[in-house]
Structures are given as C-alpha cells and as structure tokens.
Structure 1
Amino acid sequence: MEMLRDLDVVRASVGTVRLTRAEGSDDWAPVMVVRFSPFNTWYEINSYWEGRFLERTERGAFAKTIAEQGSRVKVLFNHGSDPQIGDKILGLPQDLREDPDSAAGDVPLLDTSYNRDLMPGIEAGGYGSSFMFRVIQDAWNDEPGRSDHNPEGLPERTIKEVRLFEFGPVTWPANAEATTGIRSMTDDYYAHLRDRDPARVADLEQRTRAIRTPTVEQPPPGTAPDLGAAPAGPDEPVTHHSGGLTPGERRRRLYPYLMEGASR
C-alpha cells in the first residue's frame, strides 16, 4: 500500500499561552510564550484518521527538529484556518526549546492589526495551544494491560522524535473533561484542509478507509466525524477507530516509513 506520508497529526494542548512585556516599556513589545507539549503525560487519542490509543511525548522528542529546522517552524492562529487572519504568521519563534516539563516557544508578536485583535483574548487567558507535527520515531505497547492511567488497556504510544511544523494559540484547546490533557485535532485540521485541497483529502480518506473493515461504522465520505459525541459505553462498539486489523497491523499500513531503518 502506498505510504501515507502526508498524514500529519495535530494536537490541542492545555499548555498555557501568555504575554510578557519588557518592564517599564510603553512600546509595542509583547512576547507570546506558548507551552504546547507537556512531557510524559498520557492522553487519549480517539480519531477517525488515527484510531484510538493512549499517547505521550517524552523530553528529547523535539530536540533534533528544533536544532535543525527551528527557524522554519511557523506560528499561526488556529493552524492558519481563521477566516479573517488566515495563514498570516503571528511572529517568528525567538526561543524554541524544551523545558524540563514541556516543549515551549517565545514569540515576539509582529505589530499588526490581527495581532492587536488577538491580544485581549491572550491576556485574558482565553486561548489554548496546539501544534502540528509528523512522528519520526515512536515506541508502541499494543497490550499494556489495565492500569490507573489506562483503565481500558488501550495500546500505548510513546513519541520519541518528531518533526515540528507549526504551533500557536487556538480557540478550542483540549477538552480536559474528555482527556488527560491533549486531544487529536487531526480530524478538524483535515476538515478545514478539505475546503482548500479537496482532492488531496479525498485521496487520503480513500486510502485510510481502505484499511478499515466495512462492518465498523464510519462517517460518510466528505464529512468530519462528530468529535463532540458522547463516548461509547462499555457494551457499545467504538466507531471512531478501526476494527479487524490489530493496532500493529494498522500502524504498519498507515506509517510504513516508521518501520524503515532502526526498530521502533
């Protein structure tokens, strides 16, 4: 099966977004501080595109991409899908780094009208954070058993290395009541991308649907899944992830490039 290298993933985080200013300065000099990936915190992914499993990032996962491509990382509002701001950058990352507990970036905001419109909401703490990346190296435990952090015994994924493309504030951050901190926004991202590049999304959807069994209920083609739907009960089938294939089999078909080279 053809590689799905264009399946990038998006995570919405409860990490903070705040503004700082030079003390005593009256000039336009706000710096937005975004903490977008808390480390070693398990969260559940329940996605039409990705399946259902627990995931966490570990410290060091962002080190290589920051060192090699940190200057190319973009800072956008709502992943560039805001109807007014679009994909205009908010600023350039001045200090993209890994703190002990989270990936973070300091972003001096450009003196623009759209940044001035965003500032009151950021200062009030009204926005969450989100980031888009591609997994380069990960480790899976397909049968972890039940535990306090994983009462259902879902497959567990530890992300060890990523390529970071973009981060920034979002209107709808993670739902803390539904997950332990971060949720997949990949479904939302591809729903917006469909408006701009429907052929690409349709092709990706066709290939993704091909590895699902027809007995598992899926959203009809051309529609985004209902991310606000109540989770299935213990006796109800889960409709937002694949059936038939084992997690390992589905992973090898979706991410064959992760199997190249070193063992994951």
Structure 2
Amino acid sequence: MNVMEKRELPDYKVELRESEDGVRTVTGYAVKWNALSQKLGYWRRFREQFTKGAFSNALVTFDQRALWSHDTNQVLGRTKNGTLRLTEDDIGLRFEIDLPNSPMGDNAYESIKRGDVDGVSFGFRQKVEEWDENDPDNIIRTIKEAELFEISPTGFPAYEETEVAVRSQQDPYKAYSDDKLRRKKLALKTLC
C-alpha cells in the first residue's frame, strides 16, 4: 500500500527574516540528503534517508503547500502563487515561506521567533525506494523518488520519545516485507 507519510524533523531549524517592506520569511531545510533518520516504524525497525533529487519531479508537477503543523485549514504559503519556494541544493530540500499578513501569519511568526516552534515536517508518498536488509538490526530505507505534498513548521514530533517519526496508516517496512513474502510464495507456487 502506498500511503502518504509524514516526517517530523525538529533538528532542521527554521529561521526568520523580515524585509524592509514588512515581508516576513521563514527559511530552512525540510529534508537533508542522505541523513539517516532515527529508527522508524511501529517496531522501530528501520532508518530512512532521501537521496539528492528525490523530489525533482514533484517540484515541477505538484502544487505544494506550507501548512501550520499539518493543518490544511492553515495554509502559510503555496508554490503555485510563489509564497512558498522549494529548491533542491547540495544540502537538501530548502524552503522559503512568505508568511501571510494575517493573524495566522502573525501567530506563526511570533511562535517561530520565540523558539516555541523550531521544527519542520513534511508529507510525502514514496515512488521509488530501496531497502537494505543486510543487517537486521540496522535496516535502511532509501527514498530515491517521492511525491511531496506539504511542509509544515511544527512544535513537536509525532512521538515525544523520538525526533523523527512515522505517522501513516501502515508501517512502510511491514508493507515492503509483506509484499516481498507474497511475491516469494507466488514464485514458489509457479515453480510447483
């Protein structure tokens, strides 16, 4: 099953700047290339990383949004109108959000400025992935291509005991393992 997943990354600090004309911009990285996550999944069975260029296709084909803590009712910016700018560089997926001149924008600005909100999260769906199961205690999922739907400044991770966590309907490693087992059984049936 290919479901949307969310990652919370409080270590990827957001920064604020205000121009002379009053535009307040939030900047930072939503993803850093080849940086391993903490253990993810229901049983904390795998770590994850994104390769450089994982979002290249998504950035030209999708209209991404910046949401306040994943709340679809609180849109802070959008690529379609240029208030959210996403670029891939040598470090990762960089973002710039021009905050709206509204109470929502004011609240976001003040919360980030005070340091109450200093994390970044993103919602994605993997398209191309590889699993390295050579070490059962250190399984690595590498996302090579993904659809990106949103990024979100957020105040805390999905699970307090970790800084990076899965919040999806199904554990991606379990789905991968189940599919691999199903294919193996099907191949054995075909041989018999």
Q: Which bracket does the TM-score occupy, shorter chain normalised?
A: 0.7 to 0.9
Query: 2:69 matched to 1:78?
Result: yes
Aligned to 2:75: 89
What is the aligned counterpart of 1:250 among 178, 181, 185?
A: 178
Superposed CA deviations along residues 124-155 of structure 1, whole A, max 9, x for unmatched, are 33320000000000111112x3xxxxxx7322
Instruction: Tell whether the 8 Å contact from 2:120 to 2:151 is kept in structure 1 after alignment.
Output: yes
Superposed CA deviations along residues 159-191 of structure 1, whole A, max 9, x for unmatched, are 10000001020010488984xxx512415xxxx
Query: For the residues of structure 2 that align with 1:45 and 1:51, how far apart are their CA atoms?
Result: 5
Aligned to 1:154: 138
Aligned pairs for 1:43-82 (under 5 A) are 43-48=37-42, 52-69=45-62, 72-80=63-71
Shift >6 Å, 4+ stretches: 174-177
What is the aligned counterpart of 2:12 among 4, 11, 15?
A: 15
Aligned to 1:235: none
Query: 2:167 matched to 1:186?
Result: yes
More displaced stretch, 117-126 vs 34-43: 117-126
Q: Which runs of 5+ in 1 are unaligned?
A: 81-85, 146-151, 188-203, 210-240, 255-264
Please state how far the C-alpha of 1:44 moved relative to its aligned partner. Answer: 2.8
Query: For the residues of structure 2 that align with 1:42 and 1:176, how far apart are their CA atoms?
Result: 19
What is the aligned counterpart of 1:166 among 140, 146, 150?
A: 150
- Superposed CA RMSD: 2.9
Query: For the residues of structure 2 that align with 1:253 and 1:21, how far apart are their CA atoms?
Result: 54
Instruction: Tell whether the 8 Å contact from 2:45 to 2:138 is kept in structure 1 after alignment.
Output: yes
Query: 2:133 matched to 1:142?
Result: yes
- Report the residue type matching 2:5 in the other structure: V
Query: For the residues of structure 2 that align with 1:56 and 1:42, how far apart are their CA atoms?
Result: 5
- Report the residue type matching 1:87 in the other structure: N
Report SS of the residue matched to 2:35: coil
- Report the residue type matching 2:31 in the other structure: S
Instruction: Tell whether the 8 Å contact from 1:55 to 1:156 is kept in structure 2 after alignment.
Output: yes
Aligned to 2:188: none
Q: Identity over aligned residues, as a percent?
A: 23
- Report the residue type matching 1:186 in the other structure: R
Please state how far the C-alpha of 1:34 moved relative to its aligned partner. Answer: 3.3
Q: 1:159 to 1:251 in 2, by over 3 A?
A: farther
Q: 1:97 to 1:170 in 2, by over 3 A?
A: same
Aligned to 2:187: none
More strand, by proportion:
2
What is the aligned counterpart of 1:112 among 97, 102, 108?
A: 102
Report SS of the residue matched to 2:70: helix
Superposed CA deviations along residues 209-261 of structure 1, whole A, max 9, x for unmatched, are 9xxxxxxxxxxxxxxxxxxxxxxxxxxxxxxx86xxxx85325489xxxxxxx
Please state how far the C-alpha of 1:102 moved relative to its aligned partner. Answer: 1.6
Query: For the residues of structure 2 that align with 1:68 and 1:253, how far apart are their CA atoms?
Result: 34
Query: For the residues of structure 2 that align with 1:175 and 1:18, how far apart are their CA atoms?
Result: 24
With the length of structure 1 as denominator, give the TM-score of the two structures.
0.58
Please state how far the C-alpha of 1:51 moved relative to its aligned partner. Answer: 6.1
Instruction: Tell whether the 8 Å contact from 1:34 to 1:169 is kept in structure 2 after alignment.
Output: no
Query: For the residues of structure 2 that align with 1:111 and 1:73, how far apart are their CA atoms?
Result: 20
Q: Which has the higher contact order (CA 8 A, sep 6+)?
A: 2
Aligned to 2:185: none
Q: 1:18 to 1:253 in 2, by over 3 A?
A: farther
Q: Which runs of 5+ in 2 are unaligned?
A: 183-192
